[in-house]
Amino acid sequence: MAGSAGGRDVSEGAARTADEARQQAEAAALELGEPVHEIARRRQPQHDFETHGRTLDGRLYMHFSVDARPAEMPALLRRFTEIAGAAAWQKRETDFERQKHDNPLIHGYLDSHFPLERAMIYVRHYSRNTGGRIPQINSTPIVNLGALYSFVALTARVFPKLSPRGQSVLKRRIAGALKDNVGLSPLAFEMRTVAHLMARGFDVEFHDLCEGGGYDFLAKDGEIAVEVECKSVSGDLGHRVHLKRQYQLMPYVLDKMQRPVKSGIVRLLVAKVPDRLHGNHEFMKAVATTIGQALEKSGDVSGEACTVSYHELPIFGSPFDCESPPRIKEDDVIDYCNRMIGDEV
């Protein structure tokens, strides 16, 4: 089984486990006197199933190089875009623009939760502005082009090799991901797992796409067969206050937090809700009102929606004590606040 939790995936662990199983089988083959050149031949990825893979034991397997040359990427990007259609990508971009219009502070959430979609939009804009060229992989720190290009290259190569049912399912998955609140990250995690397996010499059957149910992939190398199931877990798991809700709260309190204050201090407010921070407008407004009261009072406030503890911290020695333009890292701010109040924020 391969899984992802808290923003950290362990797909390499699944491939490593399969690799160890193969090594054990090879050692057993040596003990039985199988020629070394036969074992070496079996380890080499000698096949590239260009049309629809190859059929073994009634199953459709794939195995091809997972590397992509820069010159191949424009065509691979076009093929990938065609799976769900350019209109689906345009609708996703329009949805992001609407969210940014409604909440100018939502950028951080979109960048962290939809990194592939944001990178693809960047590439599409770049291509339109440069007569069809695409940005080089390390040309910008704004988006992760390496992750996007790897995902696009593998998915574009897999799609034409799938059965008609598999193509239909994959098309629906991509189109659905461009509409929902989860995005493409879970599918990209599955494709990374496939890339690890193929790079280690395994033929891969896309069981869930082509057959449905049970497990995601069957990885096979000679007599070794491994069923692989990928699980992606949101970073919000176990947290009552989800990241998106935090960003949605900001427009309600931004004007209150921007009012003039005395110089030389950092104001930290810790709001605690009795249950979850949900998106109801009246609830958000009540939380913001309580936060505003704490700012006006420069002290702690308790309300029905939440309780707010107020702190004034010295700006000297803080992450905000820096030259202009400021280069402030979120983790540094969190560490500073935790250290100053002796609690986790």
Q: How far apart are CA 76 and CA 342, in angstroms?
A: 51
pLDDT of residue 247: 87
pLDDT of residue 54: 56
pLDDT of residue 72: 94
Q: Contact 163/210 with Cβ under 8 angstroms?
A: yes
pLDDT of residue 218: 94
pLDDT of residue 217: 95
pLDDT of residue 94: 97
All structural domains of the chain with their residue ranges: 1-238, 243-341
Q: Contact 327/292 with Cβ under 8 angstroms?
A: no
pTM across the whole model: 0.74
> Over its length of 345 residues, how does the chain's per-residue pLDDT go in tens digits?
555 444 444 444 444 555 555 555 444 444 444 443 344 444 444 434 343 455 555 578 899 988 999 999 999 999 999 999 999 999 999 999 999 998 888 988 999 999 999 999 999 999 999 999 999 998 888 889 999 999 999 999 999 999 999 999 999 999 999 999 999 999 999 999 999 999 999 999 999 999 988 899 999 998 999 999 999 887 777 777 888 888 888 888 888 887 777 788 889 999 999 988 888 899 999 999 999 999 999 999 999 999 999 999 998 889 988 887 678 888 899 899 999 888 777
| DSSP E strand stretches across 190-306 | 203-205, 217-221, 224-228, 230-232, 265-272, 301-302
Q: DSSP readout, 287-317? A: HHHHHHHHHHHTS-EE-SS-EEEEEEEESTT
pLDDT of residue 20: 57
Sign, Cα dihedral of 298, 302, 305, 311: positive
Q: DSSP readout, 88-136? A: HHHHHHHHHHHHHHH-TTTHHHHHHH-HHHHHHHHHHHHHHHTTS----
Q: Contact 188/147 with Cβ under 8 angstroms?
A: yes
Phi, psi of 321 (to 5 degrees): -85, 75
Give 3-state DSSP helix, strand, coil % of the chain, rounded to 5.
Answer: 50, 15, 35
- In angstroms, the Cα distances linking 6 to 221, 233, 237 are 31, 7, 8
pLDDT of residue 10: 42
pLDDT of residue 264: 87
